[in-house]
Structure 1
């Protein structure tokens, strides 16, 4: 910087004339940040429904348990077995006589039955869509 003015020289009683005080100039930079809206969007979310037909075959299985009295003495304990798709579980008890014999008291027979049924229904399913719309542009 050029200045027509000469720096002021001050002499105090304790200072010697060769001590000069020269003022210096300092420059500073200030930075400022600002936010501004460049664009705006509107986002809309919709929940909609639609009907869907369901047409499926459902299988179910039921078990029928029968107690079948046998009432006879046997020589060996029978094992669990299956005859014509029927599971047979022998139930026995021991009787004491002069000779021990195995008495087949009853059998439990478990039969499985399957059936196929038509299942029809109309259900309402929800789904969402999103759309956006620009509502302002750059300035």
Structure 2
């Protein structure tokens, strides 16, 4: 090739290109641990409770009463009196007071104790910084 051919010939210049690549890696930055435990404690609980009741006493009567105005339920000295009536056949019908129920009401305080279990949760949190130069 002569000089003129060399001038007209194309010269190639290589072009370089740089490319960036991104990669990921895990790095421990710290460790946190949580411990949870439950404590159970027994406690005695004492309280006065009330017990309500009634006693019933039958009081025989056996006498006639006015059919137009029979005895009604009444209270005397804290006792509730309930008349119990019975019809009896005679030549005429009469109302006979057969008996009365005398009901005494009472309230009694009764001590009561019961063991109960109460739970309490405790949590312990520990954190330590990790070594940032070491990957996982």
TM-score by length of 1: 0.62
Q: Choose the corresponding residue for 2:58, options 50, 63, 67.
A: 67
> Where does the alignment leave 5 or more consecutive residues of structure 1 unmatched?
6-29
Aligned Cα root-mean-square deviation (Å): 3.0
**C-alpha distance in 2 between matches for 1:138 and 1:84:** 89
User: Relative CO higher for 1 or 2, CA cutoff 8 Å, sep ≥ 6?
Assistant: 2
Structure 1 position 44, deviation (Å): 1.4
**C-alpha distance in 2 between matches for 1:128 and 1:120:** 26
**C-alpha distance in 2 between matches for 1:107 and 1:32:** 101
Q: How many residues align?
A: 112
State the match for 1:89 in structure 2: 82
Q: Would the aligned equivalents of 2:28 and 2:130 in 1 still touch at CA under 8 Å?
A: no
**C-alpha distance in 1 between matches for 2:38 and 2:96:** 71
1:100 and 1:41, CA in 2 relative to 1: closer, same or farther beyond 3 A? same
TM-score by length of 2: 0.63
**C-alpha distance in 2 between matches for 1:86 and 1:129:** 58
Q: Choose the corresponding residue for 2:40, options 49, 56, 62.
A: 49
* Partner-residue secondary structure (3-state), 1:78: coil
> Where does the alignment leave 5 or more consecutive residues of structure 2 unmatched?
1-11, 14-20
Task: Please give the residue correspondences for 1:96-107 in structure 2 after superposition, counting only pairs within 5 Å.
Answer: 96-107=89-100
Can you list the C-alpha shifts for 1:16-48, whole angstroms capped at 9, x where unaligned? xxxxxxxxxxxxxx9988776654322211111
Q: Which of the two has greater helix per residue?
A: 2
